Amino acid sequence: MLNVVMPRLDPAMQSGKIVEWLKREGDRVEKDEPIVRIEGEKTTFEVNSPGVGVLRKLLFEAGADVQVGQALALVGEPNEPLPPETAELETPRLSLAQEAPAVLGATRVQEPPASPVARKMAREAGIDVSKIKGSGPGGRIVREDVQKAIEQTKGRVEPVAVLAQVRTVPVARTIKLSGKRKATAERLSYGFHTAVPVTITMETRTEAVLERRKEHHSKTGKEISVTAYVVKAAAKALEDHPLLNSSLEGEELRVYGDINVAVAINTPDGLVAPVIPKTNMKSVLEISREIRDLTERAMQNKLSVSDLTGGTFTVTNLGGYGVDLFAPVINPPQCAILGYGRTSEKPVVIEKEVRVAAMTTLSLVFDHRIVDGVPAAQFLQRVKELLEDPTKLD
């Protein structure tokens, strides 16, 4: 008998709500066939069957809130006797503190046999060991199998949305906080884990960006969003100012190896911030395309956990709603968020003459525990520079 269990989709998840059962008791199910739809904190997702068989028992009604790791249903042979106390099935013990890998549908019992070193390598490479075919005695997954799997993933382009695969960000370096930084942090925050947000703003001329958008439109007939330019500028500026691409975890500052900018998107169900992985490696055009895709899926509530995790910095925009200047809230555990307001024509003094120019106000809210005002200002200055000369974004 196989247990279908409530998976943990991110380290903080404790329980999930059953939205609906996609199969009924007695239905035949294939391996990896969706059985139940679950609503987590961030997204809804489907849990798949851990194996081939008959869905023997549903252990909860739709609407029930079920703890992570608890069995949701049993899949087995048609005549296999049900365990006497199905409610007390042993569930995998996942401690909350642990960064548990996402467990989809299966308890440890029916995982394929894998050697300790194979498990370790798979864990480190972020590969689901149950997806690997074993070549060792008795089908055991051995080191060589994982090596092959790792090589295969290297050559493959990561699909945009993989259900329930939490994206992990490589840590480029870990800096032990100096006594001074620690003292600053303690002084600045009541609770050590609470950000100390500070806002700085800067006006930027937006004509050049608007000009390039127009050019692109007349050439291709396609729109590039202003957000894409701002996102790209932020990602590029983060390359020069990596401290803003970090999180404070306990007494360690984790400076991330990837720059993954999240974009705040307003949906009927509330605000979401899906992530554009490795933003700095992508062109404005690619970023624009990805934002469009993420927005569409956000509106249909189809964002995966992968889309919503691993962000290292956030860009948000209220310009479309007539807001000129605002101080957004930092998206934890990130260090900073960049907001930008409405682009409007204003009288500005350029070379001692009053002229009319398209102006946008950028606002950077940063966690003062991590960065001080001057480096934050330098970062913002760099964003402004890039937006005023978007050829630098190519």
Partner 1 sequence: MRELTYADALREALREEMLRDPRVVLMGEEIGVFEGVYKVTRGLLKEFGPERVRDTPISEAAIAGAAIGAALAGLKPVAEIMYMDFVPICLDQIATQAAKMHFMSGGKLKVPMVLRTQYSLGRAHGSQHSQFFPSWFFQVPGLKVVLPSTPHDAKGLLKAAIRDGNPVVFIESGMLYRTKGPVPEDDYVIPLGQCDVKRKGNDLTVVAVSRLVNEALAAAVKLEQQGLTVEVIDPRTIQPLDLTTILQSVKKTGRLMVASDDVKSGGIGSEIAAAVIEEAFDSLDAPIVRVASPNMPIPFSPALEQAYMPNAERIVEAAKKLIG
Q: In the complex, which residues of this chain contact partner 1 (CB under 8 A)?
A: 115-120, 135-138, 140, 142-143
Q: For residue 333, is the peptide bond before it cis, meaning its omega torsion is within 30 degrees of 0? A: yes
- 224: phi then psi, degrees, rounded to nearest 5: -115, 130
Cβ closer to partner 1: 124 or 207? 124
Cβ closer to partner 1: 143 or 342? 143
Cβ closer to partner 1: 120 or 342? 120
Please report how close the Cβ of residue 120 comes to partner 1 at its closest, in angstroms. Answer: 4
Please report how close the Cβ of residue 121 comes to partner 1 at its closest, in angstroms. Answer: 9
The alpha carbon of 258 is separated from its chain's Cα centroid by a whole number of angstroms, namely 12
Please report how close the Cβ of residue 140 comes to partner 1 at its closest, in angstroms. Answer: 7
Cβ closer to partner 1: 116 or 347? 116
Of the candidates 373, 365, 327, 360, the residue with the CA atom closest to the CA atom of residue 230:
360
- What whole-number distance in Å separates Cα of residue 243 and Cα of residue 19? 41
Please report how close the Cβ of residue 101 comes to partner 1 at its closest, in angstroms. Answer: 15
Catalytic hit among 324, 368, 389, 394: 368
Under 8 Å CB-to-CB from 204, ≥6 apart: which residues? 359, 360, 361, 362, 383, 384, 387, 388
How many CB atoms lie under 10 A from the CB of residue 226? 20
The alpha carbon of 268 is separated from its chain's Cα centroid by a whole number of angstroms, namely 20
Cβ closer to partner 1: 58 or 121? 121
Contact in structure between 172 and 348 (CB atoms under 8 Å): no
* Residue 214: half-sphere exposure toward Cβ, Cα within 13 Å: 6
Looking up tokens 């996609």, which residue turns up?
A: 22
Please report how close the Cβ of residue 249 comes to partner 1 at its closest, in angstroms. Answer: 24
Assess whether 368 carries a catalytic annotation. yes
- What whole-number distance in Å separates Cα of residue 104 and Cα of residue 274? 22
Looking up tokens 């964002």, which residue turns up?
A: 303
Catalytic hit among 27, 32, 293, 372: 372
- What whole-number distance in Å separates Cα of residue 5 and Cα of residue 112? 16
Please report how close the Cβ of residue 143 comes to partner 1 at its closest, in angstroms. Answer: 5
DSSP 102-142: P--S--GGGSPPB-HHHHHHHHHHT--GGGSPP-SGGG-B-
Cβ closer to partner 1: 134 or 310? 134
Q: Which residues are marked as active site?
A: 368, 372
